[in-house]
Amino acid sequence: MTTQVQPPVARKIPTSRTLHGVTLTDDYAWLRDSENPEVIAYLEAENAYAEAVTAPLADLREQLYQEMLSHIQQTDESVPYRDRGWWHWTRTEEGRQYAIHLRRRDTPDHPEASQPEIVLDGNALAVGHPFFAIGDMDISDSGQLLAWTVDHTGFRQYSLRLRNLSTSADLDFTRPRVGSVCWAADSQTLFFTVEDEIQKRQHQLWRFSLATGEETLVFEEPDERYNLSLSRTRDGRYLLLHIGSHITSELRFLAADQPLDEWQIILPRVEDVEYDVDHREGYWLIRSNDRGRDCRLFARHVTGSDAETELLPHRPGIMLESVEVFASFLVACERENGLPHLRIHRFAGSGSTDLSQLAFAGEIAFPDPTYSAYPAANAEFDATHFRYAYQSLTAPASVYDYSLATGVSTLLKQQPVPGGFDKSLYTSERIWATAADGTRVPISLVYRRDRFQPGQNPLHVYGYGSYGYALPIGFSANRLSLLDRGLVMAWAHIRGGGDLGETWHDAGKMLVKENTFTDFNTCVRHLLATGHGDPARVAIEGGSAGGLLMGAVVNLDPALFRVVVSHVPFVDVMNTMLDPALPLTVPEYEEWGDPNQPEYFHTMLGYSPYDNLKPGSYPAMLVKTSLHDSQVMYWEPAKYVARLRTLKTDSHPLLFHINMTAGHGGASGRYDYLREIAFDYAFLLQELSVWPAR
């Protein structure tokens, strides 16, 4: 890719601070001021430069967009699920950007009385807004009132709205900065959480009475590490207030039919202990890591008695990620050897929570070597079927109902993939790389069988590796545009993620964060050594904390990679983590460490991508961000690119693209989002020397 266009040059205005005997100098701190016209002009100049450099790829971008569009069933509906006498589902329509949320009454004897009703039409609500996203939604027990939240900037700052579903008219009520919402059983009392004005931390719980118009502050959390959220037990009996940091949690409950009562603590918070709960027949079923990092399940009576019955003991190496509780059974959602498992256990009878009365009833089997499987919409407590979702790198997203009576799964829907998709052309694998300390790291990969030539294919590797987040392995019709051109695509399940449980997370955070980065490069080298890619054509990609990964691994070994795509990257670690006024900083001391403490300061300084740039040759890079990102501020990648431009000695393209109307997730409309992916793919294919035609 060649061009005569010159990149913009950001002015240097040095600022410095000294901490723990180290002076940090930042030439580009001025780019933080989004109110400064010079900053906006610079960002727009970067966009203009990226567009000019990639102008020769316009036809390829359009070809990729049309290919991806051809694999999408544009008019489609989700599988309906039943909740309190109503069926709920979503519909997309060709040419329209957003989903329509619908419902109809479950009236089998009078089908004429069960015509679909529109709950929310995203397309109508998005008119006049460059960005649109629905946050939380909750329908009252009466079925007549909807509480919902909406964001029109991408800054994840949602406003609360109320709607009368009988008339489809919004009530004269709105509140800013609302996170989660939950109706009490009287359908007149609404609870909602509110974030503070600076750190975007959900810190207050409010109660609103529709009957009186009165608003009451119920609870406020003073500790800056903790966020609040609301939910309701599946049986509908209780409202739950979740109070959690990255490593500690506390839950409070309120009887749903007693909205004026005091919220009660289930278990008091204990540092480094996390738990969550559901309710069944007078007992809390509590999943907790109090006796081991991979969690156990036990029961306690709602009266607060200290007596407990252990239902599923802690088993090292088998991560109990969540528990789905129903009237007659529960599903243990576990992760073992890096793969998800759904295991069914039956209760012996009404009211029984004794371990001896909880019987293992089977496990749902999955056919692929690497996959994702997780609970789907299971709103009803008295269920006889368990609904789950399944997909793999070669199997499109599917929804199943598992029958407790027969032990058989019934496919309700597999996402259609029009445009000639043939599953048999593709194969997936799961292999393991060995890190320098002997740790085995799993890798998932997929490629097209008839395009695979050992050691010759372009290789694309994706990574994340933070927050204990298990990298999901799923199907993407968009990905066919790369696989059909011969790319081998891989996902590195590196330490710092949750792929092998919480101990895997622990092994890649805080003072041992470096393991995340060395694991990733080890995986890339292993893929090349086993013939899964051409060493001269390696692409890597990651976003947010995965963007930190991109910056860190390139600094470790820039010659290993040909091209990098980095989305909303967390690259200015020191300046961000030294600013407690920024959103997320204080809570994330529990993930990265507090740089005000010397040992964490020096560890973070050792891998911070922005601080470790140096003169030399770098891969081709496409760095992307959004102006209204509230999780990784736009100025982090802006500063990173500005500094890298002064240090790189190669002629490889360095492009910086800023979505001026979106947030952390990029464009909100589905067609706009496809355009963004086409832009990325065209850049990748060009830099990997892949012939545009399939």
Q: Which residues contact 568 (CB under 8 A, 6 or more apart)?
A: 543, 544, 547, 624, 625, 626, 629, 631, 632, 637, 664
Q: What is the pLDDT of residues 208-259, one digit of tens each?
A: 999 999 999 999 999 999 999 999 999 999 999 999 999 999 999 999 999 9
> What Å distances lie between residue 685 and 1, 119, 485, 569, 670, CA to CA?
11, 42, 9, 21, 22
CA angle, 196 then 470 then 80, to 5°: 80
Rounded Cα gap, residues 397 and 292, in angstroms: 33
Tell me the one-letter amino acid at 613. Answer: L
Q: Is the four-CA dihedral 88, 91, 96, 99 of positive or negative sign? A: positive
Nearest one of 461, 466, 463, 464 to 447, comparing CA atoms? 461
Neighbours of 97 (CB within 10 A): 17
pLDDT at 172 > cutoff 80: yes
Which superfamily is assigned to 423-667 in CATH?
Alpha/Beta hydrolase fold, catalytic domain (3.40.50.1820)
Question: Residue 693 above 60 pLDDT?
Answer: no
If you classify domain 129-273 with CATH, what class do you get?
Answer: mainly beta
Residue 236, Cβ density class (10 Å: 0-12 exposed, 13-18 middle, ≥19 buried): middle
Shortest CA distance to 85 belongs to which of 135, 134, 140, 137? Answer: 140
User: Residues 580-630: pLDDT tens digits?
Assistant: 999 889 999 999 999 999 999 999 999 999 999 999 999 999 999 999 877
Choose the catalytic residue: 138, 401, 629, 680.
629
Neighbours of 15 (CB within 10 A): 12
User: Is 382 one of the annotated active-site residues of the chain?
Assistant: no
Separation of alpha carbons 654 and 618, rounded Å? 9
Q: Could you tell me if 25 and 15 are in contact, meaning their C-beta atoms sit under 8 angstroms apart?
A: yes
**Which of the following is catalytic: 138, 664, 668, 680?**
664
Residues 373-432 pLDDT 10s:
999 999 999 999 999 999 999 999 999 999 999 999 999 999 999 998 999 999 999 999
**305-314: per-residue pLDDT in tens?**
889 999 999 9
Nearest alpha carbon to residue 521 among 455, 607, 433: 433
Residue-wise pLDDT tens digits, 69-123:
999 999 999 999 999 999 999 999 999 999 999 999 998 877 766 789 999 999 9
Angle at 159 between CA 158 and CA 165, to 5 degrees: 120
Grade residue 200 by pLDDT with cuts at 50, 70 and 90.
confident
Using CB atoms within 10 Å of the CB of residue 304, give its burial: 0 to 12 exposed, 13 to 18 middle, 19+ buried.
exposed
CA separation for the pair 436, 366 (Å, rounded): 32
Kindly indicate the confidence band of residue 1, based on its pLDDT and cuts at 50, 70 and 90.
very low
Q: Is the pLDDT of residue 352 over 70?
A: no
- Give the pLDDT confidence score for residue 694 in this predicted structure: 46
Q: What is the dihedral of CA 613, 614, 615, 621, to 10 degrees?
A: -20
| Closest by Cα among 513, 519, 547, 536 to 621 | 547
Do 319 and 338 touch, CB atoms closer than 8 A? no
Q: Per-residue confidence at 666, pLDDT binned at 50, 70, 90?
A: confident
Catalytically annotated residue among 544, 608, 626, 630? 544
Cα 388 from Cα 517, distance rounded (Å)? 34
Q: How confident is the model at residue 41 (pLDDT cuts 50, 70, 90)?
A: very high
CA distance linking residue 302 with residue 299, whole number of Å: 9
Residue 677, pLDDT above cutoff 80 = yes
Q: Taking residues 356-376, what's their average pLDDT? A: 93
Q: Please compute the mean of the pLDDT values over residues 144-161 and round it to a whole number.
A: 93
How much of the chain, in percent, has pLDDT values that exceed 90? 90
Residue 185 · residue 236 · CB < 8 Å: yes
Positive or negative: CA dihedral 595, 499, 371, 525 = positive
Per-residue model confidence as pLDDT tens digits over 321-339: 999 999 999 999 999 999 9
- Backbone torsions φ then ψ of 311, nearest 5 degrees: -100, -45
What pLDDT sits at residue 583? 84
Q: Does residue 628 carry a catalytic annotation?
A: no
Dist. CA 379–CA 377, nearest whole Å: 6
| Nearest Cα residue to 570 out of 664, 487, 474, 457 | 664
Mean pLDDT of 443-464: 98
Q: Rounded to an integer, what distance in angstroms lies between the CA atom of residue 122 and that of residue 102?
A: 11
Three-class HEC string of 234-300? CCCCEEEEEEECCCCEEEEEEECCCCCCCCEEEECCCCCCCEEEEEECCEEEEEECCCCCCCEEEEE
What are the angstrom distances between the C-alpha of 420 and each of 58, 192, 343, 417, 681?
25, 47, 35, 8, 20
pLDDT score, position 164 = 96
What mean pLDDT, rounded, does the chain reach? 94
Question: pTM for the complete prediction?
Answer: 0.95
Terminal-residue alpha carbon distance, the chain: 20
Q: What proportion of the chain, given as a percentage, has pLDDT over 70? A: 97
Whether the per-residue pLDDT at 64 is higher than 70: the answer is: yes
Q: Is the pLDDT of residue 175 over 80?
A: yes
Please report which confidence band the pLDDT of residue 536 belongs to, taking 50, 70 and 90 as the band edges. Answer: very high
**pLDDT of 498 over the 70 cut:** yes
- 3-state DSSP assignment of residue 145: strand
Here the contacts of 467-472 (C-beta below 8 Å, separation 24 or greater) are 467/246, 467/496, 467/497, 467/498, 467/505, 467/545, 467/591, 468/496, 468/497, 468/498, 468/502, 468/504, 468/505, 469/497, 469/498, 470/321, 470/335, 470/340, 470/497, 470/498, 470/499, 471/497, 471/499, 472/372
Domain with CATH 2.130.10.120 in the chain: 129-273
Inter-axis angle of helices 514-529 and 545-556, nearest 10: 70
Query: pLDDT at position 305, please?
Result: 86
In the chain, CATH 3.40.50.1820 covers: 423-667
Among 91, 27, 132, CA closest to 642: 27
**Quick check: is 26 catalytic?**
no
